[in-house]
Structure 1
Amino acid sequence: MSLIVQKFGGSSVADAESIKRVAKRIVETRRAGNDVVVAVSAMGDSTDELLDLANEVTPIQAPRELDMLLSSGERISMALLAMAIKALGHDARSFTGSQAGMITDSVHGAARIVDVTPVRLREALDEGAVVIVAGFQGFSRESRDITTLGRGGSDTTAVALAAALGADVCEIYTDVDGVFTSDPRVVKKARKLDRITSEEMLELAGSGAKVLHIRAVEYARRHGVTLHVRSSFNNSEGTVVYDPERLPEGEAVEESVIAGVAIDLSQVKITVVGVPDVPGAAAKIFKILAGTHANVDMIVQNVSAASTGRTDISFTVPKSDGEKSLQALTSAQDSLSYQSLQYDDQIGKLSSSARPCARRPASPRSCSKPSTRPASTSR
């Protein structure tokens, strides 16, 4: 008997019919003799709808209360999915993140998992039930509050559960057939990859590929969790994200040199103009940004102008982090002594993940790590 963790995203449980279809797939996996744990996202666009509702109430929300609000979406999904499985004649039990033992730090909106204690989940599995867990959320022992994990949080929930329970595989169900060499909605000739290494997937996820979230990929790589990205709308095989060190000795890994190309149009570029070119100036800027929890990506510093002793520092962040980054830097202008800020939301990032060798080497150190070559261009 295998233990399989399955994750279903919002598009997979968008409405009642979709939930029934997902329930049938879960029951089929259970009937095949497997123990099943499911992490589920909020239905469709319900998280965005809750955010819109919060903005109508007040443009500035208290982080604690916003987490309380947003975590409700997954609780609705988990309960409805458990009901649908029970209607098919199988026992199913739903658990919130805190009930599932998902312990996080106390950062609201972008919490990090610090421990997983799935005692109640193991008890339910031992009694033959399908376990349904609300993704995207956890509980902070420090603050004793509900927290949310941020973008891609349900992926991370699924991987964390797989690692804690010792699952054989973590299946990520989405609205595409797997991981493609590029975004098939943009590149018509993009092809699906049968498998990709965890390092290559980490590079692509970090460069804007949205099929898997970077935190989930990193968690899986660190804990040795095998991922299988599949479509929830058909039964075709998807893409296996694997650790190359776990391949049988001597097995060939002959793939194209370029594993994939990622396109990211959700970034903004901020330029801090006229920064004093002195040691520690850049560190002060990024320390302030770290305090906002902004996800800084590409960083470029211009050559200093000898006549002024100043330089420009540019960096990219997700659009969702753009406004708070600007506000933090504006508030600190006196201490940073820069001249002005520039904000550009008309940019795109194109990155490729490349394999430097075509066949698995005798020693893993005889081949360098995959490389990513990002380029930021104006749109």
Structure 2
Amino acid sequence: MNAPKELHYPVADLPEPGTAVEIAPGVRWIRMPLPFALDHINLWLLDDDDELAIVDTGFGLDPIKVQWNAVLDLENRPVSRVFVTHHHPDHLGLASWLMEHDNATLHTTLGEFLAGHAIWHQLPGYSVADMVAQFRAHGLDRERLDALAERGNAYRRGIPEIPSSYHRLFDGDRVRIGAHEWEVIVGYGHAPEHMSLYSEALGVLISGDMLLPRISTNISVYAATPEDDPLGWFLDSLRRISHLPDTTLVLPSHGRPFKGIRARVEQLIAHHRERCDALVAACAEPQSAADLLSTLFPRELDTHQVMFAMGEAIAHLNHLVKLGELRRVGSAADGFRFTTTS
């Protein structure tokens, strides 16, 4: 059967602040604010027999705690487990705080647990200083480098406390949560080992940030692994989940729940190919990643957005090098440039 050309959004109304709306049997939707241009995150409650499991936690701010308290007061049952799809602050931010409520346990993958600690503790390759050095080698100007350095470890502001222990999940694991079994699907590119959860019986995929309905997930290169190809890994991960039934209800971290997995995967693959084609066309003469920001993002970027934009530009350029469509010249000392191979 051919995939539909458009996505279908079966849920009309958004959850009100401090409330949870049932979206499938035993699955409820919460929507929390974020202090960015991307102004919200979707979080999920799962019935766990007489207890409650949580998938993702929101950004670590006091107003978010107030909304969580309202939700948990209405639920009036203990939290058993906290599942975190990946280590970014809007997902991991309040994990420790929620776990303290009822001695709940954290469940995630090794890659996400360790990446979170690496950034939180500013380990080599994951520190602000190393990120700034990476962006300097890719041509970012002094003013924007200074702004990133002065911003400091913004990651900690989103995660006031970070959990010190967890239950490790692997790709293909089957986890029983209440009446339903959920398959762990690990995806790559957006985060080291991003965890999605799929229930065949419910026809539901909690996709996290791996599959969003209206925006493209950020794909960035860490300073610790400067020649990685996260875009290639991300596209491969999308193809893996595109085999799921097209009737599956996708519960994304941002945007509305939708149906039409294959259509969305095709759209995203086409989008990244178009972005790659634009970069190749711009690289007839050697260009740095910073030179190419306006090719990928033809709008004004604040400091927060510059961080993601530089990571994304490097990821696309690395991918094109891997494909043999561009080559990298220069060095970290004198600046990397990318140019066509023909």
**TM-score normalised according to structure 2 size:** 0.32
- Alignment TM-score, normalising by the size of structure 1: 0.30
Which of the two has greater strand per residue? Answer: 1
